[in-house]
Amino acid sequence: MYLKKIETQGFKSFANRAVLEFTPGIMGIVGPNGSGKSNIADAVRWVLGEQSARQLRGSNMQDVIFAGTESRRPMSYAFVSLTIDNSDRSLSVDTDEVTVSRQVFRSGESEYRLNGNVCRLKDIYETFYDSGIGKEGYSIIGQGQIDTVLSNKPEERRLMFDEAAGIVKYRKRRDITLKKLESEQASRERVEDILGELEKQVGPLEKQSEKARQYLKLRDELKEYEVGAFALESDELESKLNEVRTNLETVNADLERASAEEEHLRDQYDALNTENEERDTRLAARQAQMADMRVANENREGRISLLTEQIRSAQANRDLIEERARDYDAAVTRIEKEREGFYTQKNAVDEELDRIDDKISALEEETEALEEEEKDLTFRLEKGNSTIMASLDRKAQITASLAALDAREEQTNERLAALTQEKEAADIQIRELQSDHDAQQETLKLLDEEIAGLSRKLEEDQDGERNLRIVRAEREEEKQRLERELGILRARRENLSNLIERYDGYGGSVKAIMEKKDRFPGICGVVADLITTDKKYETAIETVLGGRIQNIVTETEDAAKSLINYLKTNRLGRATFLPLDAVRGDRGFARPEALGEPGAIGTAASLVSTDGRYVGIVGFLLGQTLVADNMDHALAIARKYSYRLSIVTLEGEYLTPGGVMSGGAYKNNSNLLGRRRELDACEAEEKRKQARLVTIRTELKESAEKLEGMSSRIAETDLRLRRSSLQAAALRAQWEGKKKDLEQLRTRLASLTEEEEKRGRELEDIRTQRESVNQNVSDLDTDSESIRAQMTDLAVRLDKVKEQFREKSAALETLRVEFSNVSQKGDFLLQNVKRCNEEIARTRREKADLLQGNISVETVTREREEEIRQLRLDIETAEAELKRLEQLQREEEALKEERREEQHNYFEAKEAVTQRISLLDREQYRLQTQEQRLEEQIEKQAEYLWTEYEMTPSQARAIRNPEIKNPAEVRRFIAQRKKAIKELGPVYVESIEKYKEVSERYEFLKGQQEDLIKAEKELQDMIRELEKGMREQFREQFALIRQEFSRVFSDLFAGGKGDLILEDPDDVLSSGVIINAQPPGKKLQNMMQLSGGEKALTAIALLFAIQNLKPSPFCLLDEIEAALDEPNVKRFADYLYRLRGSTQFLIITHRRGTMEMADKLYGITMQEKGVSVLVSVNLTDPASREILDEAE
């Protein structure tokens, strides 16, 4: 496989179609400077996928298109194709030739083709994968790679070795993975921050939501049982009322008879009860006395047994004590003899210890003296050695510095010549770049102004859109609120209408008449429906009216009479009627002067409104009651008028004539008076909110249309802004690039000037340093000889001192061991003496204690025997008294039994009468009060139902649970639920949904956190695996490159040695690479210390070594031998010639030695300014060679 053909058109200076056809071997491309020959190398890089314009010596990709000349127009596209011979099927394409082409247009469009078919860049990479062909490989070697090798910084060469070792793709993967890891870590930190906040909410919300669920459950259960209980109790109350009235008369008669009988029995019972109480007192006292006497005798018997046992035990212990005393005397005598023997041995041991200690002290003094002398001699020897080594190091440094001075002088001269050329080139580039930079800056200014205008317009439109969305959100929220409020109002209105139509809250009799009032002529209505008042007076008016608020107003007395008959006939209860032709209430307020008192508002009648025909009724009901603003003023007025007025306050406290006061908090109020007013208010509020809702819906529709138009304008402006921003960004990138290039060039020019001056000063310093170094070498040699003679004497003395120190140390150690053994023996003897003393003292104490006990035994025995005799006498006396008392008790019990029978008969009769009277009393009271209480209970039930649940008794009966039957159990259940609700405290019902929302989000984020942690671990494992593979592959490939470099170096230099060394072998992935070289006849040194030509040839050797390890079918060399002198060019050419059999070489050159080695030459020239053309010569043809020789 080899490169067969390059075809280009419109690429850089090749305006016309140009075709370069190649054969295996060495192909040369030559031409004068500026003719465009290096554009051939750029064309090959470009067609193989180069994406960096800088690598192609341009600022952007459009720079590769022919830009035109004074006589030619610019072209609209650039085209390059490579044709490779694939007859050996080295590539995975089943054709004899593989053609790759790339084309780019000024519009920015581009395309790749493979054998004429449009393809992706990725397809081209895959086609040449592992073939050695590609922009990343070493099939193209230019001056850039030479500069990289010649860099002063070993780490800058690192990338070249990474590419050669094939780890660049792994490094890129690692970098991508590291960015992913950073991103995952940042995401995890954000998630953990949110989780931290949510964790603070979840716990409290969970408790609140659980509390709210308990509350809702308890509330529903309470409602169900309260409604059922009220319905059940209401039914029971009606049946109880009839039963009470029937039984009341019978109870009164029975009560009178039972009371007379009870009085007679009470007298008989009192006399008998007094006698029995006296007898019981005597029996109890005597029984207690007998029990005390029996307990005392039992205690005496126990004491006698205890004393007898103590006497027997004392006699047995006396003999044992005497025997043990004799044993203690013998033991003390034996231990004292043993102690005397230990004292004698201890004195001998102490004398031996004193003798050994004196010897040890003498030896320690001698050893310390020898040790100090040894340390002094050792220090002096070490100091001498250090001085000699320092002299040797200094001499080596001086010698090395002489060689370095020679190399620096040669390098400085070469560098001064190069600096002059570089300065001239840099000055030309600065002038060209400054012109382009100024033009781009003006264009950028215009674009920035356009972008600023578009940004302002976009911001204004977006602000308008945000404001409009905020207004829409507010209107939408208001619409939803109104819809909710309207729903509540409709429900309330319908409920109020139903209550009014059904007369809920009224008594059963009133309700029965009013629901059928159309059947009865002459009904005007109930009082509550015929009057109205302000809301602030409703409580006061309802308090005054009380139950009269349900009175029915009729036209005539006859109408009222017929209605009463209807209620009696149908047993529907009772009702109060106010006939208009009978009721008169037109007389004035009894004490008009009270109306002017502080706090007086007016009469209750004056505060209500009604039809004119009902004024008399209102006056009758309310005309004599004064309304006051508060309780204090009401009391003041009542006291002033001697409690003769009826006064009511706005809060419902009521003072009636005579000083009676009623008041407190209303548990509930059916609000019969305010129902109609509340219904009218609901209807008015509903109409107002409905009108507002229509207005809001219209506004929402209009704002939606405005929002749609505004969004279109924003999208259009945003698109224009993005396009201008992209254009400006691209232009700014170019401008910044040129600006940076200018700064770099100016810095480079200043650096070159500074370096030129520095190099001149260095030459003078080098000559001065050389003279000083030569004198230092002579002085060092003289000093070293003197020091060596002194060190020989010191070494002999040191050996003698060490031998004496070893002998004394051995003797000292022997004595110390002996001293330790004898000392241990003495310690053992002291411990034995101490033990003997302790045993003697303990034995004597035990003997003394034993003898003391024997003395007290006789005395104790006599005392115990006397006490036993006295106890037996006491027992005989107590038993005689007990027999006498028992006889008295038997006689008293017999008499008590006779009276008990009589008492039992009287008690049964009295108990029966008393119980009967009590039952009759309670029954009488219950029956007298129950009728009134039952009516009050029915009314309170209705009020409670309405207050708590807005429900009437009939509705409660309709929805009650049929399983609720036991009122007592229901009440207990209700009390438990109320207590449970109260114990819950404040309840936040919305927390249920809030907890669900927060917990779901928390669980989701918790899963995200676990996924992120798992992803982090996987990425870290991936990074470790990548780095492990990179290390292994780099070490392996670096060893091969090092070996191949040594071989190629020897071939190119015809001998010598080249080597590659890692700066930090432990960190192979970051370590820089040092290149050491040893040309024939020179020492091994860093490549940077070689001459310019040697450095260039060393760099070429390294590139060829890498290329040999990763061979490609062809290799394009772009003037890499330009810095070589003629002999090295000859070596370079010879080396190429040896490799021509395995690799096809395309060489861009202007060196004669390289051209002579080429099999075929392509000449690049510019017959027309700015346009490159080709001329070819086949050097394998003898005639062509003769023509070339003649031309030279």
Both structure tokens of 404: 């370095």
Residue-level pLDDT at 318: 63
Tokens 């990179």 correspond to what residue? 1030
Q: Mean pLDDT across the stretch 924-950? A: 66
Q: Mean pLDDT across the stretch 932-947? A: 67
The dotted CATH code for 1-139+1112-1192 is 3.40.50.300
Burial of 543 (0-12, 13-18, 19+ CB in 10 A): buried
Do residues 66 and 18 make contact, with C-beta atoms less than 8 angstroms apart?
Answer: no
Report residue 21: phi and psi, to 5°: -105, 135
d(Cα 1171, Cα 68) in Å, to the nearest integer?
9
Residue 65: DSSP 8-state = B
Nearest of 101, 339, 127 to residue 834 by alpha carbon: 339
- Condensed to tens digits (0 to 9), the pLDDT of residues 31-61 reads 888 888 888 888 998 988 887 777 777 777 8
Q: Mean pLDDT across the stretch 458-467? A: 80
Beta strands in 377-530 (DSSP E): 523-526
Report residue 481: phi and psi, to 5°: -65, -45
Residue 63: DSSP 8-state = G
d(Cα 691, Cα 693) in Å, to the nearest integer?
5
Q: How confident is the model at residue 245 (pLDDT cuts 50, 70, 90)?
A: low
Nearest of 1022, 971, 943, 772 to residue 170 by alpha carbon: 1022
What is the layout of strands, in order, in the sheet containing 552-554?
523-526, 552-554, 577-579
- Condensed to tens digits (0 to 9), the pLDDT of residues 790-837 reads 777 777 777 787 777 677 777 777 776 676 677 767 777 777 777 777
Nearest of 1149, 1163, 1162, 1096 to residue 1118 by alpha carbon: 1149
First-to-final CA distance of the chain:
35
Both structure tokens of 148: 């990289």
Q: Would you tell me how many other CB atoms lie within 10 Å of the CB of residue 53? A: 17
Q: In Å, what is the CA distance from 441 to each residue of 59, 341, 726, 739, 747?
A: 15, 118, 16, 10, 21
Q: Mean pLDDT across the stretch 321-329? A: 69
Q: How many helices (H) and strands (E) does the chain have?
A: 20, 25
**840 or 1133, which is more confident:** 1133
- Condensed to tens digits (0 to 9), the pLDDT of residues 978-1036 reads 787 777 777 766 777 777 777 887 787 788 778 878 888 888 888 888 888 888 888 88
Q: Mean pLDDT across the stretch 532-556? A: 88
Q: Mean pLDDT across the stretch 423-448? A: 74
Out of 412-426, 498-512, 694-708, the most confident range is 694-708
Tokens 């040092």 correspond to what residue? 1074
Both structure tokens of 242: 């009839």
Nearest of 860, 861, 849 to residue 324 by alpha carbon: 849
d(Cα 278, Cα 481) in Å, to the nearest integer?
87
Q: In Å, what is the CA distance from 950 to each residue of 669, 671, 980, 1017?
A: 11, 12, 23, 63
Out of 359-363, 464-468, 1074-1078, 1110-1114, the most confident range is 1074-1078
The one-letter code for the residue type at 121 is L
Q: Residue 859: which H helix or E strand, with range?
A: helix 857-949
In the predicted structure, residue 323 carries a pLDDT above the cut 80: no
Q: In DSSP terms, which residues pair with 627 in a beta bridge?
A: 602, 648
In the predicted structure, residue 152 carries a pLDDT above the cut 90: no
3-state secondary structure 224-257: HHHHHHHHHHHHHHHHHHHHHHHHHHHHHHHHHH
Nearest of 6, 28, 10 to residue 19 by alpha carbon: 6
Q: Would you tell me how many other CB atoms lie within 10 Å of the CB of residue 320? A: 11
Q: In Å, what is the CA distance from 1041 to each residue of 182, 474, 1105?
A: 35, 74, 6
Cα angle: 133, vertex 135, 136; to 5 degrees = 90
At 531, is the secondary structure helix, strand, or coil?
Answer: strand
Both structure tokens of 1039: 């060893």
Residue-level pLDDT at 164: 72
Can you spell out the DSSP letters for 343-380?
Answer: HHHHHHHHHHHHHHHHHHHHHHHHHHHHHHHHHHHHHH
Region for residue 751 given its phi and psi (left: phi exceeds 0; alpha: psi -120 to 50; beta: otherwise) = alpha
- Condensed to tens digits (0 to 9), the pLDDT of residues 283-299 reads 777 777 777 777 777 77
Residue-level pLDDT at 1189: 45
d(Cα 285, Cα 217) in Å, to the nearest integer?
65
Domain boundaries, the chain: 1-139+1112-1192, 506-669
- Condensed to tens digits (0 to 9), the pLDDT of residues 595-605 reads 888 999 999 88
Q: How confident is the model at residue 1186 (pLDDT cuts 50, 70, 90)?
A: very low
Residue-level pLDDT at 415: 66
Q: What is the CA radius of gyration of the chain?
A: 64
Both structure tokens of 466: 């945000």
Q: Mean pLDDT across the stretch 861-888? A: 79
Chain centre distance of CA 457: 41
Residue-level pLDDT at 468: 82
Residue 653: DSSP 8-state = -
Q: Please, what is the average pLDDT of the chain? A: 77
- Condensed to tens digits (0 to 9), the pLDDT of residues 641-672 reads 888 888 999 988 988 887 778 887 654 455 67
Out of 84-98, 371-385, 881-895, the most confident range is 84-98
Residue-level pLDDT at 1192: 42
The dotted CATH code for 506-669 is 1.20.1060.20
Do residues 265 and 915 make contact, with C-beta atoms less than 8 angstroms apart?
Answer: no
Q: What is the pTM of this model?
A: 0.39
At 102, is the secondary structure helix, strand, or coil?
Answer: strand
Please state which of the ranges 228-237, 1093-1102, 1156-1165 shows the lowest mean pLDDT.
228-237
Can you spell out the DSSP letters for 1150-1162?
Answer: --HHHHHH-SEEE
Q: In Å, what is the CA distance from 527 to each residue of 241, 499, 567, 756, 1052?
A: 28, 16, 19, 121, 129
Q: In Å, what is the CA distance from 896 to each residue of 266, 308, 769, 1050?
A: 21, 47, 147, 146
Do residues 974 and 225 make contact, with C-beta atoms less than 8 angstroms apart?
Answer: yes
Both structure tokens of 222: 């309470």
SS percent in the chain: helix, strand, coil, step 5: 70, 10, 15
Both structure tokens of 67: 């830009």
Nearest of 1131, 1095, 387, 393 to residue 789 by alpha carbon: 387
Residue-level pLDDT at 100: 94
Q: Mean pLDDT across the stretch 1155-1161? A: 85
Q: Would you tell me how many other CB atoms lie within 10 Å of the CB of residue 232? A: 19
d(Cα 402, Cα 394) in Å, to the nearest integer?
12
Strands 26-30, 1144-1148: pairing kind: parallel
Region for residue 23 given its phi and psi (left: phi exceeds 0; alpha: psi -120 to 50; beta: otherwise) = beta
At 8, is the secondary structure helix, strand, or coil?
Answer: strand
- Condensed to tens digits (0 to 9), the pLDDT of residues 494-512 reads 777 777 777 777 777 888 8
Burial of 1106 (0-12, 13-18, 19+ CB in 10 A): buried
